[in-house]
Amino acid sequence: MAQYCITSIILNAYEARIHFDYYLPENNAHWQDRYHGSIDILETVVHGSKLLFDELPIIERIHIRRACWNYLETKGLYRITLVIPLSLYSPLTKRSSR
């Protein structure tokens, strides 16, 4: 997990400071995206006031989440090529002992 803080313009209307966690994908969990991982919005600050992310209108939540993913992508902070799901490998078979 890594924590980030970004400032982004939301809906071309206001500037928001967004704190979020980024989690790499795990093989044993259901994530938002099994190859890219997931993000968790911790705090959204607009005009110096903290806003509850879950109480924002859905379109604003979508734009905030997109801003977080765009930040990770443009900064090269997630590396999908380094994450190889275990499901790509066939089960290991036991070797016979001599």
Residue 93 falls within a domain, yes or no?
Answer: no
Buried b (16+ CB within 10 A) or exposed e, 59-98: ebbebbbebbbebbeeeeebeeeeeeeeeeeeeeeeeeee
Q: Which residues pair with 6 in a beta bridge?
A: 18
CB contact at 8 A, 27 and 37: no
Report if pTM > 0.75.
Answer: no
Domain that holds residue 37: 2-88
Q: Which of 10, 3, 1, 24 is nearest to 65 (CA)?
A: 10
Answer whether residue 98 is part of any domain. Answer: no
pLDDT tens per residue across all 98 residues of the chain: 788 999 998 887 889 999 999 987 665 555 455 567 789 999 999 888 999 999 999 999 999 999 999 998 888 877 655 555 556 655 555 555 55
- Could you give the number of structural domains in the chain? 1
